[in-house]
Amino acid sequence: MSFCQEVKKELCRIEPKKLHCREAALYGVLRLSRTFPQEEIVFKTENKFFADRFAQELAAFGTFVEVRSDLRRLKGDTPVYPVIVSDEYQRRLLSRHFMLDVSGFHPPFVERSCCVAAFFREVFLAFGSVTNPEKEYHLEINALNSLFAEEMYLLAQNMGIRFKTTKRKGSEILYLKESEQIEDFLTFLGATKSVLKLMDIKVMKDVRNKVNRTTNCETANLKKTVSAAGSQAQDIRFILEHRDITWLDEDLRELALLRVENEDLSLRELSTRISVPLSRSGVNHRLRRIAEAAAKLREDLDAQKGETEV
C-alpha cells in the first residue's frame, strides 16, 4: 500500500458525528465536482471504501446514489469507482440544499473549524494526493478553478496552513512542499498515525543525509591527502630524474624514498614507518622542504636552459 493510500485509509475511518460537519464534508466534494450536478457522476475514486462511505452519507440525505466499478477505466490493476446520482430531480434537490449555484463557497458550510477540517478531509480524499515522503515532500489538492483555489487557500490560511498554487492541465492545484506544513495539514485532518510515520521517515532521512555528508566529507579529505601525496611524489621523481638521492639533505632522503613508493600513505602513517620516528608535523615540515628543493631545482634547470638557448 502506498503512503497516499495509507493516509486515505486512515482518513476514511474518521466519521464526522455532528450534522454540520457531515454537511461540510458532502458540500466540499459536491462543490468541487467536475461534472455534478449537470452530469450524474459526482466523482471517481480508486478507493472503494471511500466511494461507499460517501454514497452512504449522501443516502442519509435521502438521495438515491450508486457506486459502480468502472472496469473499463482500470488505473493499473485497480478499478475506478464512480459515485453516481443518476436521477436529475435528486441532483437538483442536492444542488438546492448545498447551494451549488452560489459562486465560490457558501460560508455557512465552512464557518466552524470542525467543519473546515471535515471539508478538507473529504476534499483531500476525493481530489488530493500525497507523495511517498521517502521520495519527496509533496501534498496536493486539485482545486478545479482559481476561485475555489483562492477560497481554499484562505480557509487553510486561517488554520495556519499556507498552500502554494500552480496550474496543471487547466486545473488550479494547491500544494504543500514542506514536511512541517504537510504534518500540520494531516494533523488538522486527523491523520495522526500517518503524521507519526511521516516524522519517522523524516528522522531516518536526516540521519541518512548526515551519514552521506560525513562520508562525502571523508572522501574529500582522502582526495586531498591523495592529491597532496601525488604532487609530493611528483616532486621527488623530478629530483631523482635530474639528481641523485644524495643531492637531498641527508635527513630528507629516507622520507623521500618512502613517499615516492607509497603515495597512499597519510602523514601519520609515514611518521611511523620512518626509521627514526617523527611527529606528523615533523613529516609535514620535511615534505615541505623536499617540495622547496624541487622548486629550486626546477628554477635552476630553467635558468640553465635559458642560458644555453641564449
Binding of residue 159 to Zn ion (CB under 5 A) = no
Longest dimension (CA), the chain: 109
Nearest to 260 by CA among 300, 231, 217: 231
Shortest Å distance, C-beta 102 to Zn ion: 19
- Segment contacting Zn ion (CB under 5 A): 13-21, 38-46, 96-104, 289-297? 13-21
Shortest Å distance, C-beta 15 to Zn ion: 13
Instruction: Report helix, strand or coil for 61.
Output: coil
Q: Which is nearer to Zn ion, 106 or 298 (CB)?
A: 106
In DSSP notation, 63-87 reads ---EE--EEEEEETTEEEEEEE---
- To 5 degrees, how large is the angle CA 23–CA 29–CA 30? 80
What does DSSP assign to residue 247?
G
Q: Which is nearer to Zn ion, 11 or 84 (CB)?
A: 11
Shortest Å distance, C-beta 156 to Zn ion: 16
Among 26, 55, 58, 115, binds Zn ion (CB under 5 A): 115
Binding of residue 190 to Zn ion (CB under 5 A) = no
Q: Which is nearer to Zn ion, 21 or 139 (CB)?
A: 21
Q: Give burial (CB, 10 Å; 0-12/13-18/19+) of 175.
A: buried
Residue 104 has phi, psi (to 5 degrees) of 75, -165
Binding of residue 112 to Zn ion (CB under 5 A) = yes
Shortest Å distance, C-beta 143 to Zn ion: 21
- Segment contacting Zn ion (CB under 5 A): 37-45, 72-80, 115-123, 272-280? 115-123
Q: Give buried/exposed letters for 220-258 (b at 16+ CB in 10 A, else e).
A: eeeeebeebbeebbebbebbeeeeeeeebeeebebbbeb
Among 20, 68, 202, 205, binds Zn ion (CB under 5 A): 20
Shortest Å distance, C-beta 158 to Zn ion: 15
Q: Which is nearer to Zn ion, 19 or 71 (CB)?
A: 19
Among 11, 21, 176, 297, binds Zn ion (CB under 5 A): 21
Q: Which residues bind Zn ion (CB under 5 A)?
A: 20-21, 112, 114-115
